[in-house]
Amino acid sequence: MTEDSDGATEYLIWNDSSGQEKTVDFIKQINSKNAKFVAIGLVVGFILYHGIVHQRYGADSCGWLLTGGKYKGDMEWQPYGCMMHQYTQLDMRRCIRSLTFYGRHNRFVFMGDHRIQEIYTAFLDHLIGRPEYGGTSNGRGSPTNVGRNRTFSDGQLRLTVDFIWSPYISNTMVQSFKQWQSIEKLTTKRSRVLWVLLEPINEDRLPKSALTNRVIDQYNWAAKEALYRSGAQVWSSTRALVSGFSDAWDGEHIPAKALRHHTQILTNLHCNEHMAFNDGTCCSSPEQRTTLQTLAYTFLIACFILGVFVFVRRYRTKMKMEPPTGGYILIVTLAKLCLIMAYFYLCDRTNFFMKENKYYSSVSFWLPLAYVFALGLFFTEDSRYTKVLHRDQTDEIKGWMQLVLLIYNMTGASANFHIRNHIQIIISAYFFLSGYSHFYYLWHRPEAGIVRFFQIIFRLNFLPVLLCVCMNRPYQFYAFAPLISFWFLCVYLVFTAPPRVSAASVDANPLHYLYFILKMVGLFSMIIILFMSEVFFEKVFLTRPWKALFVTTDDDISEWWVRWKMNRYSMCYGVVFGLALVTVQKYNLIDDSNHSNVLSKRPALATAFTALAGMTAASSYAFLCPTSLDCDEVHSYSTFVPIVSFIILRNLSGFLRSRYSSMFAWFGKISLELCFCQIHIWLAADSHGVLVFVPGYPVLNVLITSFIFVCAAHEIRHITMTLLPYIVPSDWRIVIRNFIIFLLILVPIGIHDGMF
């Protein structure tokens, strides 16, 4: 400052410095720990919100199915707050047969004017699979022979479907109800009585009609008032169903696609409770809790109570000044795990939170994908590593691949054949990188003992096994866990089978290269034998007691066979690539020890062109192959081409190789937890739908559920790494003891489930 300064400049400088300090302090508060506190607050808030909604409006999803909804995707109907299964004719007839088997008589009576007759005809056509039944349609969903009573019956199914022509509230309608006694007595016999509200008409198309929308609204209001205290349910979503086709709706004839939605609503109303489809939560009760689930949650609740007690005791005494003991850390960690598992159960094993179906559209898939990659590039920074496929880079690749898979699962993009083929390449790339990572560790580390083996197995399987117990699902349901564990076991056996091959042994005896190659040839041969004979494959994997690891709830091994077959070489490709990479590094054929390019200019250009051609060819085939079966047959043989091509393009330039996206790498470190957690707390109904906290606001809902989901996955990873030294300590004898204890715990479970 100058001598004649009045001090204002000094004050402004001081004030700006204070503002910067406050900004820095605020930024420091943005961390995973505080984010998890925010997530807990959001969960508690939404539990209170949905609790109030259930208390005020009820939690009957049948009512949601009949009263509200909207069109999503390709004009597909989404009921309010629940998921609607799309019943095929086969599904519908199975439902009728199932109800018949349990002694129920299936009778449907439609009574009303030509609109109800259109619904009746559409329902019956879907049931018997004959669109021409009862006369031909006029192309707009309107049946011929209007004004006649009609009856369809099937003695084998004990099924009767009647239509009674009664365009007005007349003696016909009154006498019919007297014949059935009353609405109240019908509902007490587990029958449903639905009153369909009149839909608004298009007055411009029907100018001469005496019926106006004002009269329709008055009529509907009077009907709801009259039926308010009866056992009848008002079907009001028909108005929105028909209004969605404003161009095709004239007020007289219901559009054909709207009739299809009417049929699906009626079938979901009648069948969901008995068929238990995962994607049909409307009118369906949550599954019953098993004895094993009860025992598991009892243990976790006991740990939670004990954890709260020791936590409060520590912070109310002078013990908080001392470092926490191992016992304290263990109990508090299990208490946190109890809260997370309770959240899992609440989201996906109850109907407390709402759920919606997935509906694919190109915008819903590509737009968030573009946002994610733009954000990932924004967090690009220098890495301290320069080697090909260094740790930061592998974490980054796993991260962006997992985010792509999450968007793919959320948006239901499996409906797009071309996207599905590219996703298969990404899944294989994950196995490829896992094979490379296991090879790199076991090659450069002389020890490959039992402790290391169980550390990896625990890391891969802790969360899936816990979810199997707490969510009552078979191990094969979490398909990635058995696949990655099986292939890790194969790679581990290749390395540990005598003679033990490593970088040190190869330096001492180059003949060990040949030994390792022969081991890999043996592994490939075993895979080929299993693939060539599906009968032999089933004999191997259906052998007790490990059969339970590879079959679904229906005792079916086909899902394991398909997934195993698709990725049978992927991890082996990663091991072979790792061997080739360490060999060229050893003999200085490439230089990745600094920030320069790995090859000189001309070889680099030729290699880049070849890699680009490989990626283009793989992507072109994914677009052009005629069927998914053809793509899958070629996939296991050709998948290394786009993967290796991408790795070459990613690492050829020193600038690209030494930089990475810290955001993608962060997600890559929790990719395993994201893979398993998404099924229950981000998606819904075992990944068939989407979890809904904020109905009516899909973008806001995705942001909130995604934030909570990522925080939970990050905390589960922290819990896993905290429990690792307790479950798999460095002493191999204690590891064996713990493994035996685990097997002894599994024995009664296995006996109960028929494993032995």
Closest C-alpha among 208, 261, 222, 211 to residue 239: 261
Determine the pLDDT at residue 184.
Answer: 67
Same domain, 395 and 271: no
In a domain, 689, yes or no: no
In a domain, 320, yes or no: no
Closest C-alpha among 308, 268, 295 to residue 284: 268
Same domain, 104 and 229: yes
Q: How confident is the model at residue 455 (pLDDT cuts 50, 70, 90)?
A: very high
In a domain, 330, yes or no: no
Closest C-alpha among 168, 195, 184, 189 to residue 109: 195
Same domain, 405 and 264: no
pLDDT tens digits, one per residue of 332-370: 999 999 999 999 999 999 999 999 999 898 999 999 999
Determine the pLDDT at residue 584.
Answer: 93
Domain end position, chosen among 235, 259, 275: 275
For residue 470, give every residue at least 6 positions away whose Cβ sits within 8 Å of its Cβ, in sequence order, or none.
293, 296, 297, 300, 341, 344, 345
Q: Tell how far CA 440 is from the center of its chain.
A: 31
Four-residue CA torsion sign, 388, 392, 394, 400: negative
The predicted model scores a pTM of 0.90
Domain that holds residue 635: 383-680
In a domain, 20, yes or no: no
Six-digit token pair at 562?
Answer: 């398909």
SS3 at position 174 = helix
Domain end position, chosen among 220, 251, 275: 275
Six-digit token pair at 202?
Answer: 């298009």
> What number is the average pLDDT over the span 373-379?
94
Same domain, 507 and 643: yes
Same domain, 619 and 471: yes
In a domain, 49, yes or no: no
Helices and strands in the chain, H and E counts: 30, 12
Cα–Cα distances in angstroms (integers) from residue 441 to residues 72, 264, 435, 495, 735, in the given order: 48, 54, 10, 11, 21
Determine the pLDDT at residue 136.
Answer: 39
Dist. CA 335–CA 331, nearest whole Å: 6
Q: Please say whether the beta carbons of 213 and 203 come within 8 A.
A: yes
In a domain, 71, yes or no: yes
Determine the pLDDT at residue 114.
Answer: 85
pLDDT tens digits, one per residue of 650-673: 999 999 999 999 999 999 999 999
Closest C-alpha among 398, 395, 490, 495 to residue 445: 495
For residue 115, give every residue at least 6 positions away whose Cβ sits within 8 Å of its Cβ, in sequence order, or none.
196, 199, 254
Q: Which residue has the tokens 């739908």?
A: 689
Domain end position, chosen among 680, 708, 733: 680
pLDDT tens digits, one per residue of 391-434: 999 999 999 999 999 999 999 999 899 999 999 999 999 999 99
Beta-carbon count within 10 A of 137 CB? 19
pLDDT tens digits, one per residue of 231-272: 788 898 888 888 777 665 666 778 888 899 999 999 999 999
What domain count does the chain have? 2
Same domain, 257 and 391: no
pLDDT tens digits, one per residue of 122-161: 999 998 876 544 433 444 444 556 668 888 988 888 888 9
Q: How confident is the model at residue 756 (pLDDT cuts 50, 70, 90)?
A: low
Quote the percentage of the chain above a pLDDT of 70: 89
In a domain, 177, yes or no: yes
- What CATH number did the domain enclosing 162 receive? 3.40.50
Q: Please say whether the beta carbons of 691 and 355 come within 8 A.
A: yes
Same domain, 526 and 669: yes
In a domain, 658, yes or no: yes
Dist. CA 124–CA 127, nearest whole Å: 5
Q: At what angle do helices 698-727 and 32-57 cross, to 10 degrees?
A: 120
Mean pLDDT of the chain: 87
- Range of weakest confidence among 78-82, 133-137, 377-381, 719-723: 133-137
Q: Which residue has the tokens 């000044």?
A: 321
Six-digit token pair at 565?
Answer: 């077959």
Which of the given ranges, 278-282, 631-635, 645-649, has the highest pLDDT on average?
645-649
